[in-house]
Amino acid sequence: MSLVSTGFLLFLLAGVIVYYIIPKKMQWVWLLVLSCFYYLCSGYKTIIFIITTTIVTYFAGVFLNKENERIKNIPAQADRSEKKKIKEDVKRRKKLIVALLLVIIFGILAVIKYHTFAIENINAVIGVFTGKYDTIPTFKLLLPLGISFYTFQSAGYIIDVYRDKYECCNNIFKFALFVSFFPQIMQGPIGRYDRLSPQFNEPHYFSLENTEYGLQLMLWGFFKKIVIADRIGVVADKVFLHPYDYNGIFVIVGVLAYCLQLYADFSGGMDVVSGAAELYGIRLDKNFRQPFFSKSISEFWRRWHITLGTWMKDYVFYPFSLSKKMMKFSKLMKKHLGTFAGKTLPICLADLLIFFLVGVWHGAAWKFIVYGMYNGIIIAASSLLEPVYEKMFKVTHINKNAKWYRVFQIIRTFILVNIGWFFDDAANLKESFVLIKNVFVNFSIKPLFDGSVRAMMEFSSMDMLAIAVGIAALFIVGVINEKGIDIRKSLAKKPLILRWAVYLMLVMSIPVLGYVSAETGGFLYAQF
């Protein structure tokens, strides 16, 4: 059931009406029913996978919770050696169950999402030695809805219980709601149990403010998706689907179009699902924070797909960089290369690992791995070159806090981000490099002014107006948010007539400026 469909809106409306009529203690049950219905409508053939992940994760959590209780309930009269033995036994058992659980749920994800990629690469290696490139046959599996999101969410939960951050969920149906909550199942954000579970369990009363806020956010998300993303995506497709046909400024226009499409589509999708959740009184984690105001690639990833970044930081970066082996490596580097290298190199290795995983998470293709490593290498190199930058600032007397320098950093980061999109959107790694190379072939800005770019885009005056309005709206809202102003609260304080004038303008702009074609479909990140 696409989020951009009349069916979804009717489903949402019916769900909200019943939600506030039924007894408050049954609200979480109704949310579970809605989530199950939504998932079945979107892909009933693959429901066994989310059920399996839910069941094994739930019982693993129960087991870990019991082991945590064993530690807390060690008899006071037990001697030191006995206490040590119990703790070591508990630690060993906990590690075993977490390892088994992660192997199961990530194994399911790996087989379903990456089996073809793995087989093709194994066949390629075999083919080098035998000349036969189809030794192992490939097969197709249906990709379950939201499998990457609910797998990461379940993994985060089990690691938190392992760390005794909170107690496990003692109701398998409530845990199933956490895993499958329908607004976020399709494309995130990746939720945390300690933030979502209390909201599912507490009673929610109908609120005009929640309803207004939720609908505001949904409208803004639909505006981004229908007015901006679907329209500009046509230009991106022209270039990325025909990489050998375009060069110079046309390729730059194509990658900028993809940048706008992806941001409007992905952040718009987050607005729609967050707004839908707010209608039920549930607040999801923020997933975007004006990423194109970033002054570095590392800052960009703290503002883009925030919940994926924080998941990687909490469950990969810190465990890896603070592991015993990394501590030994750090000491070794301090001894031979100095304090700075000892502190920085483990962090750089952790960054490279994280962005390798980010690349793999995006898809089963070498282009995504290169995309991840491209970002990781830039971040690692920036950390290693920090002393060089500091010396450069001293020699050149550049004021790092000057406005012109901040603008330079933002533009530089924007360019680096857009280079990365070549790997993200091209059909394969070869075409990514073809497009990058073609930027420098017959480069000229003349097509921007002689009508050639406009002809390539095949945009009418209405299309150009819609894109101009959309970009202006994104920029203005971004600047206001960057200043720390809460637009929704600020708007709520305005007179009723002014508020509804803004809402009506937004509502009317979608059918008037919206773009609908045979290619118009769901959100890009639904594929994950």
Q: Evaluate whether 199 touches 191 at the Cβ level (below 8 Å).
A: no
Rounded Cα–Cα distance for residues 498 and 488 (Å): 13
Return mean pLDDT, the chain. Answer: 91
What pLDDT score does 526 carry? 55
Percent helix, strand and coil across the chain, each to the nearest 5: 75, 0, 25
Q: How confident is the model at residue 482 (pLDDT cuts 50, 70, 90)?
A: very high
Rounded Cα–Cα distance for residues 505 and 108 (Å): 46
What average pLDDT does the segment 106-132 reach? Answer: 88
What pLDDT score does 78 carry? 77
What average pLDDT does the segment 162-177 reach? Answer: 95
Asked whether the predicted pLDDT for residue 522 surpasses 90, the reply is no
Rounded Cα–Cα distance for residues 480 and 281 (Å): 25
- φ, ψ dihedrals at 247, nearest 5°: -150, 175
Map tokens 């906990």 to a residue: 94
Q: How confident is the model at residue 492 (pLDDT cuts 50, 70, 90)?
A: confident
What pLDDT score does 520 carry? 52
Rounded Cα–Cα distance for residues 512 and 509 (Å): 5
Q: Evaluate whether 453 touches 235 at the Cβ level (below 8 Å).
A: no
Q: Which string of DSSP letters, residue by residue, matches 250-306?
A: HHHHHHHHHHHHHHHHHHHHHHHHHHHHHTTT--PPP-BS-GGG-SSHHHHHHHBSH
Q: Evaluate whether 225 touches 266 at the Cβ level (below 8 Å).
A: no
Asked whether the predicted pLDDT for residue 499 surpasses 90, the reply is no
Write the single-letter amino acid at 308.
L
276-291: pLDDT as tens digits: 999 999 999 999 999 9
* Secondary structure (H, E, C), 351-377: HHHHHHHHHHHHCCCHHHHHHHHHHHH
What pLDDT score does 179 carry? 96
Lowest model confidence (mean pLDDT) among 270-279, 301-310, 488-497, 516-525: 516-525
Rounded Cα–Cα distance for residues 128 and 132 (Å): 8
What pLDDT score does 75 carry? 81
Cα angle vertex 240, ends 238, 243, to 5°?
A: 95
What pLDDT score does 87 carry? 85
410-464: pLDDT as tens digits: 999 999 999 999 999 999 999 999 999 999 998 888 988 888 988 899 888 888 9
Rounded Cα–Cα distance for residues 141 and 139 (Å): 7
Look at the alpha carbons of 489, 522, 186, 475 in this order and tell me if their dihedral is positive or negative. Answer: negative
Look at the alpha carbons of 473, 413, 317, 386 in this order and tell me if their dihedral is positive or negative. Answer: negative
Q: Determine if the pTM surpasses 0.95.
A: no
Lookup: tokens for 349:
């290795």
Q: Evaluate whether 271 touches 217 at the Cβ level (below 8 Å).
A: yes
Quick one: what percent of the chain has pLDDT higher than 70?
A: 98
Q: 282 to each of 198, 235, 279, 288, 343, how far by Cα in Å?
A: 10, 37, 7, 18, 41
What pLDDT score does 127 carry? 86
Query: Is position 242 annotated as part of the catalytic site?
Result: no
Lookup: tokens for 517:
């074609």
What pLDDT score does 224 carry? 94
What average pLDDT does the segment 475-503 reach? Answer: 86
Lookup: tokens for 6:
């009349």
Rounded Cα–Cα distance for residues 250 and 258 (Å): 12
Cα angle vertex 224, ends 223, 227, to 5°?
A: 60
74-110: pLDDT as tens digits: 887 777 888 888 888 989 999 999 999 999 999 999 9
Asked whether the predicted pLDDT for residue 401 surpasses 90, the reply is no
11-43: pLDDT as tens digits: 999 999 999 999 999 999 999 999 999 999 877
Asked whether the predicted pLDDT for residue 9 surpasses 70, the reply is yes
Give which of 370, 386, 379, 259 is closest to 309, Cα–Cα. Answer: 379
End-to-end CA distance of the chain: 15
Higher local confidence (pLDDT), 78 or 368: 368
What pLDDT score does 186 carry? 84
What pLDDT score does 42 carry? 78
Quick one: what percent of the chain has pLDDT higher than 90?
A: 64
Q: How confident is the model at residue 516 (pLDDT cuts 50, 70, 90)?
A: low
Q: 328 to each of 316, 339, 352, 442, how far by Cα in Å?
A: 18, 13, 19, 52
The β-bridge partners of 288 are 304
What pLDDT score does 74 carry? 81
Rounded Cα–Cα distance for residues 90 and 259 (Å): 49
Asked whether the predicted pLDDT for residue 506 surpasses 70, the reply is yes
What pLDDT score does 429 carry? 94
Asked whether the predicted pLDDT for residue 46 surpasses 90, the reply is no
Q: How confident is the model at residue 238 (pLDDT cuts 50, 70, 90)?
A: very high
Lookup: tokens for 137:
């046959």
Give which of 177, 198, 142, 218 is closest to 37, Cα–Cα. Answer: 177
Q: How confident is the model at residue 164 (pLDDT cuts 50, 70, 90)?
A: very high
Rounded Cα–Cα distance for residues 55 and 468 (Å): 49
> Which of the following is catalytic: 204, 336, 362, 397?
362
The β-bridge partners of 304 are 288
Higher local confidence (pLDDT), 493 or 382: 382
180-215: pLDDT as tens digits: 999 998 888 999 999 999 999 999 999 988 898 899
Rounded Cα–Cα distance for residues 61 and 63 (Å): 5
Lowest model confidence (mean pLDDT) among 137-141, 168-172, 278-282: 137-141
Lookup: tokens for 492:
């709520």
82: left (phi over 0), alpha (psi -120 to 50) or beta: alpha
What average pLDDT does the segment 337-345 reach? Answer: 89
